[in-house]
A = this chain, B = another copy of it.
Amino acid sequence: MRPTRLDTARIRAARQVIDPAFLDTPLYRCDALDPVLGCAVSVKLETANPVRSFKGRGTELVASRLADHGPGAVVCASAGNLGQALAWSARDRGLDVTVVASRFATAAKVDRIRALGARLELVDGDHEAARERAAAIARHDGSRLLEDSLDIETCEGAATIGLELVAQQTAVPAYDAVLIALGGGALATGVGHVLKALAPGVEVICVQPRGAPALTLSWRARRVVSTESADTIADGVAGRHPIPAVLDDLLLVADDAVLVEESSITAGMRLLLHHAGLVVEPSAALGIAAILEDRDRFAGRHVVTIVCGSNVDMTAYHRWTGTALTPRQDARPRL
């Protein structure tokens, strides 16, 4: 494999820095999904931790390195999970955190960012507008700008999932493909790097919503393709402007990048609820959606899907999964 920006030795070393609450997450077979999907499915569960997503792995690295230089300030744009994780990692390290999010961000995520003590700024427009505003804040006040997928810590943190997948491969029947949600690319390039380095026979398949296809289109075209808009319920992967360096890595580690319909995402969420007892956010159902849209490709195989987050507004969740909420439960305050 031609070298990516990542280094396997550095990824191994990262495990020593990350709070154990984020490491060694469950990987297990979900037999109950098999007859529905026509293949053997294992889940790598990244939601059973204090921030309910894999992002803590990367923010632990960022916050720990920043704190080594004493108190400081850091700003990031986030659809919510990165910001929540950064706020968590910074809380006890004397770091000052500002998170910029779209005014349309998931309320559950934004509420948790505030509850964890970070400064929150909401901008009109989408995630790309938040990215611009975060960069402006950093330029203005000299804060460290944390850029998801570009900053190597976010990729190295995600890559520790890959180390665990390889180490845990003895614990379950061998799998031959891993399905990875594709947004900015940190998760895919991080996990993909480790798999290609240590388990090259495993197929690395990235999955993105058809309504937010920028990085997939870029991977296919082998050059950066931006989109005018992003329209998906999978808020965690709804970028429009891929980062060139991340695309370069993705070209080296991804075997495929596929696009899925919104209806497949909600169907995936429903299946994970009913057959695995898992509440997931839309981005975390992309892998199941990919199987649903191409059953022949996966028939009889053993596939791992990374369940990457569970931060979801329950009202929307019940709507997406086909359950209706009673007014009493619906009465939680919005932004």
Q: Is the CB of B29 within 8 A of A26?
A: no
Residue of B nearest to A168 (CB): B20
In the complex, residue of chain B having the shortest beta-carbon distance to the beta carbon of A276:
B52
Q: A69 CB to closest chain B CB, in angstroms? A: 25
Oligomer: number of copies: 2
* A324:B323 contact, CB within 8 angstroms: yes
On whether the beta carbons of A323 and B328 are closer than 8 Å, the reply is no
Q: Does A57 contact B (CB under 8 A)?
A: no
Number of interface residues of A (CB under 8 A): 47
A273 CB contacts on chain B under 8 angstroms: 279, 314
Q: Is the CB of B26 within 8 A of A48?
A: yes
For A115, give its contact among B32, B115, B274, B321 (CB under 8 Å): B32
Q: A279-B277, A323-B318 are in contact. Are A28 and B21 (CB under 8 A)?
A: yes
B26 touches A25 (CB 8 A): yes
User: Which of A92-120 touch B at CB < 8 Å?
Assistant: 112, 115-116
The contact string, 1 if C-beta is below 8 Å from chain B, for chain A 5-48, is 00000000000000111001111111110010000000101011
Residues of chain A in range 106-138 having any CB-CB distance to chain B below 8 Å? 112, 115-116
Contact B31 A50 (CB under 8 A): yes
Asked if A172 CB lies within 8 Å of chain B CBs, one says yes
Chain B residues with CB below 8 A from A277, complex form: 47, 52, 279, 310-312
Query: Which chain A residues numbered 238 to 270 have a C-beta less than 8 Å away from chain B?
Result: 270
